[in-house]
Amino acid sequence: MSAASTNAFGFDDYFEHAEVNIFRLETLQVYGSSGEDPALAAFLAGEPHLITPGKREWITLVRDRTAAGCAMQRVHVVKEPITDYLRFELTWGYQPNVAAGEYIGIIPVPPGHPWPRGLPEETDFWIFDLGVLYELRYHPDGSWIAAEQVSEPAAIHQACRWRETALRLATPWQSYVEANPELARIVAQ
């Protein structure tokens, strides 16, 4: 992507126009008002797996982008024991993403252990082609506020370092789920 063409894009456009890599760092333990609320409610009620229209769109995007050669990657730092929300996200949320081609890594933080060195706390972002950075803003309850483009080279460089650290420390989603019988049981349903 040329610098001139990136200025014409908005946040959502980068998902379609990134050429090499799309990466997300997730550090919150709960996200709200994400469009997945009906699926979360179904999960908590013990109902059958619900895939919302927004999730279907995401799965299609992941399939299309990865088929075009663009790597889709996400790493979530997860404090254990996990919340009900994370139980939902780690199973119903991530299973279809991985099946569609998204790499998802998990960095577990066991009780009493420090946050992973070299990674920010409560800082979420998307970085596209290692050069376009959007920091994500949330209310304290995890509900969405906005995605804000950050253009300072130092901030972009820092996000790239965090990306490298996160990918290095992450356990692949499948391995994390298999090591946690409760999650493996949910995924197998």
Q: Return the pLDDT at 8.
A: 66
- Cβ atoms of 64 and 93 within 8 Å: the answer is no
Tokens (6 digits) for 151? 């253009």
Count of CB atoms situated within 10 Å of the CB of 108: 18
Residue 75 near residue 167, CB atoms below 8 Å:
yes
pLDDT in the model for residue 154 = 98
Say which residue the tokens 């460089």 belong to: 157
- Count the neighbouring beta carbons within 10 Å of the beta carbon of residue 113: 10
Residue 115 DSSP label = P
Domain ranges of the chain: 20-188
- pTM of structure: 0.93
**Is the distance from CB of 166 to CB of 25 less than 8 angstroms?**
yes
Q: Of 25-39, 99-113, 129-143, where does mean pLDDT reach its minimum?
A: 25-39
Residue-level pLDDT at 7: 57
What is the band of 9 on the pLDDT scale with cuts at 50, 70, 90? confident
What does CATH list as the number for 20-188? Answer: 3.30.870
Q: Assess whether pLDDT exceeds 70 at residue 3.
A: no
Tell me which DSSP letter residue 32 carries. B
